[in-house]
C-alpha cells in the first residue's frame, strides 16, 4: 500500500497531511462504501475540526449524509458503527505527538478496514475516481449525541461488574488529555472502583504529558498511585484504544508482561493467539504452557486484524491477539482494541485479592530493549537495511523475515525493521538478562552505525 500504513494515514497536520488530501480520502471512502450515511469522529487534537470539516465536505460531495459523533475514543466509534451499521472516517493520530493528525477508516462492522479494503480505497484516491454528485445529491449532516454514554454502558456490561465492584478497588487513571478523558474514568466508576485521575481534561495541546503511554511519560500516574494507595494505575494513548499499567507500588508494568497475563487468563488448549514479529518470549511461553498456537504477523494493528479474520474464517478460536504496546484485542468481544475494556479485563485479574505486581510476577523473567537509528534519506535507509541483511547472514541465529530481520538465538532475540510511521530503523531485543538484551541490541546498532 502506498497511502495507508499499518495504522492508517498519519502526518504533521496541514504541513504533511493536508485537508485537501483528507477530502480526497473521504470522497474515495464514500465512493467505495456506497453508504447513504457515514459517521465522522475525532480525538482531542487541535486540528481535529479542520480535518473533520474536510472529511464532511468530501463525503457530502459523493452523496453521503454525515453523522457527526464529536470527540470520542476510537473504541466508542467502533461500538457506534457496529450498533448502527454505519462506517466512519475517524480523525486521530493515536499516540503521535500533538502536531500530528491522521485518518483511520472504520467499517460498518465497527472494525478497522482490512488491508484489501484499504487498498481498494487507495486506488480510488490515486486515480481520483470519485462518485461525485451534483447539487441535488449533496449529503446533509447532523449531530449524534450520546455516543460516549452508550459506549461506557457497553464496556460495563461486557465484564464481570459484580466481581470487580465487590473487590473494592482503587484505580488511578491517566487518559493523557486524549479522548479517553471523556469516557474511561466513568467506566471505572461504574464498575464500582474508587477513581483518581490525572491528565483527565480533554486538551489537544497535551499539557500534562504526551499521548504515547510509555514509561517516560507516566511519572504523574506513578505518583498518583503511590499517594492514593491505588491498586492499579491505568494509562491510555490519545485515542484510548490501548491501555498500559503501573502496579500498586507505582512501578511500570511492561506491556509484554500485561499481555502475557491477560493471555494466560484468556487462552485454552487448542486456541490460537495472534501477535506480531516483535512478540515477547513471555507470550510464546504462555501459549506453549496452555497448548495454544501462536501466529505472528508483520507489526501493526491492521495486519493482526486481517490474520484474526482469516483464522476465524477457518474455524479457529482466537480469544486474544495484540502487541506489547498495550494494544490488546479480545476478538470475542470485538475485533478492535479497546483501552477501557483491556483495563477492565486486567481488573478482573485482581478480584481475588492478588496485587497487580503478583499478577505479572510470572512474566518478569525477560528484559526488553527498544532502540532506533534515525535516517535522513532513502539512500541512507537502504544502506542501513542492507547492513542489517548482511549482519543477519553472518551470525549464528535463526532468521525470520516476516517484517524486517528477526534473529532468534538460544537465549534471546533481536529484530531490526524500518518504522512504519517515522524515518527510523527500529531495533528490539529481548533476553533473560538486561545485559544480554543490551548486548544483542548493541551488536546490531554497531553494525548499522558502521554502515552509515
DSSP-derived 3-state class of residue 154: helix
For every residue of 351-405, DSSP letters joined together read: TTS--HHHHHGGG-S-EEEEEEEE-SSHHHHHHHHHHHHHHHHHSSSEEE-SSSE
State the residue for C-alpha cell 504477523.
Answer: 297
Distances in whole angstroms, Cα of residue 332 to Cα of each of 68, 222, 260, 329, 382 = 28, 32, 18, 9, 41
Q: Which is nearer to Mg ion, 7 or 222 (CB)?
A: 7
Identity of the residue, 239 or 254, whose beta carbon is nearer to Mg ion in the bound complex? 239
When the beta carbons of 241 and 271 are compared against Mg ion, the nearer one is 241
Dihedral over alpha carbons 252, 253, 255, 259 (to 10 degrees) = -160
In the bound state with Mg ion, the residue whose beta carbon lies nearer, of 212 and 248, is: 212
CB of 128 to Mg ion, least distance (A): 30
- Give, in degrees to the nearest 5, the angle at Cα 335 between 332 and 337: 110
Annotated catalytic residue: which of 94, 181, 280, 336? 94
Q: Pick the closer one to Mg ion by CB: 97 or 137.
A: 97
In the bound complex, what is the minimum distance in angstroms from residue 239's beta carbon to Mg ion?
4
Query: Among candidates 44, 40, 84, 94, which has minimal Cα distance to 64?
Result: 40
**Which of helix, strand or coil describes residue 166?**
helix
Minimum distance from residue 336 beta carbon to Mg ion (Å): 10
Q: Any idea of the CA torsion for 333, 336, 342, 345, to the nearest 10 degrees?
A: 10
Residue 328, phi then psi, degrees to nearest 5: -110, 135
Three cell numbers, residue 158: 461486557
Please, which residue, 47 or 94, has the CB nearer to Mg ion?
Answer: 94
Binding stretches for Mg ion (CB under 5 A): 94, 237, 239, 241
How far CA 187 is from CA of 147, 151, 158, 168, in Å, comes to 14, 9, 11, 15
Q: Would residue 140 show up in a list of annotated catalytic residues for this protein?
A: no
Sheet holding 424-431, edge to edge: 367-374, 424-431, 412-418, 405-409, 398-400
CA gap 272, 234 in Å, rounded? 27
Residue of 176, 223, 169 lying closest to 347 (CA atoms):
169
Report the distance separating Cα 417 and Cα 425, nearest Å: 6
Using the minimum distance from each CB to Mg ion, give the nearer residue, 237 or 256.
237
Element housing 149 (H / E): helix 147-158
Distance CA 206, CA 239 (A): 13
Q: Which residue of this chain has its Cβ atom nearest to Mg ion in the complex? A: 94
Catalytic residues: 94
Amino acid at each position: 500500500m502506498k497511502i495507508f500504513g499499518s495504522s492508517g494515514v498519519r502526518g504533521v497536520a496541514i504541513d504533511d497531511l493536508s485537508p485537501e488530501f483528507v477530502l480526497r480520502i473521504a470522497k474515495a471512502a464514500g465512493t467505495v462504501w456506497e453508504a447513504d450515511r457515514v459517521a465522522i469522529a475525532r480525538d482531542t487534537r487541535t486540528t481535529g475540526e479542520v480535518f473533520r470539516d474536510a472529511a464532511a465536505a468530501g463525503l457530502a460531495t459523493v452523496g453521503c449524509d454525515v453523522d457527526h459523533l464529536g470527540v470520542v475514543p476510537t473504541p466508542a466509534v467502533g461500538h457506534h458503527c457496529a450498533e448502527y451499521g454505519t462506517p466512519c472516517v475517524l480523525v486521530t493520530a493515536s499516540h503521535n505527538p500533538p502536531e500530528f493528525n491522521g485518518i483511520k477508516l472504520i467499517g460498518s462492522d465497527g472494525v478497522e478496514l482490512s488491508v484489501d479494503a484499504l487498498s481498494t480505497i487507495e486506488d480510488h484516491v490515486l486515480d481520483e475516481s470519485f462518485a461525485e454528485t451534483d447539487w441535488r445529491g449533496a449529503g446533509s449532516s447532523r449531530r449524534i449525541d450520546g455516543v460516549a454514554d452508550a459506549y461506557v454502558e457497553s464496556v460495563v456490561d461486557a465484564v464481570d461488574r459484580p466481581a470487580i465492584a465487590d473487590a473494592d478497588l482503587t484505580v488511578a487513571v491517566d487518559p493523557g488529555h486524549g479522548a479517553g478523558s471523556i469516557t474511561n474514568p466513568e467506566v471505572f466508576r461504574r464498575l464500582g472502583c474508587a477513581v483518581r485521575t490525572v491528565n483527565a481534561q480533554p486538551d489537544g495541546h497535551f499539557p500534562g504529558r504526551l499521548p504515547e503511554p510509555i514509561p517516560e511519560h507516566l511519572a504523574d500516574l506513578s505518583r498518583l498511585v503511590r499517594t492514593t494507595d491505588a491498586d492499579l494505575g491505568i494509562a491510555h494513548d490519545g485515542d484510548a484504544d490501548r491501555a498500559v499499567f503501573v502496579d500498586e507500588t507505582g512501578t511500570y508494568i511492561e506491556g509484554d508482561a500485561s499481555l502475557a497475563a491477560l493471555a494466560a487468563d484468556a487462552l485454552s488448549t487448542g486456541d490460537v493467539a495472534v501477535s506480531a514479529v516483535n512478540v515477547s518470549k513471555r507470550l510464546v511461553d504462555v501459549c506453549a504452557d496452555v497448548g495454544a498456537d501462536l501466529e505472528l504477523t508483520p507489526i501493526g494493528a491492521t495486519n493482526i486484524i486481517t490474520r484474526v479474520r482469516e483464522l476465524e474464517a477457518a474455524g479457529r478460536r482466537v480469544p486474544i491477539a495484540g502487541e506489547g504496546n498495550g494494544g490488546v484485542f479480545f476478538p470475542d468481544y470485538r475485533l478492535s482494541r479497546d483501552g477501557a475494556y483491556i483495563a477492565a479485563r486486567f481488573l478482573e485479574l485482581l478480584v481475588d485479592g492478588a496485587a497487580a505486581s503478583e499478577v505479572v510476577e510470572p512474566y518478569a523473567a525477560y528484559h526488553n530493549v527498544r532502540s532506533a537509528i534515525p535516517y535522513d534519506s532513502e539512500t541512507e535507509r537502504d544502506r542501513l537495511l542492507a547492513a542489517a541483511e548482511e549482519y543477519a547472514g553472518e551470525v549464528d541465529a535463526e532468521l525470520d523475515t516476516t517484517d524486517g530481520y528477526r534473529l532468534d538465538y538460544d537465549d534471546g532475540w533481536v529484530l531490526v525493521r524500518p518504522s512504519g510511521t517515522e524515518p527510523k530503523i527500529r531495533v528490539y531485543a529481548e533476553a533473560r538478562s538486561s545485559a544480554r538484551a543490551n548486548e544483542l541490541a548493541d551488536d546490531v546498532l554497531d553494525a548499522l552505525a558502521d554502515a552509515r
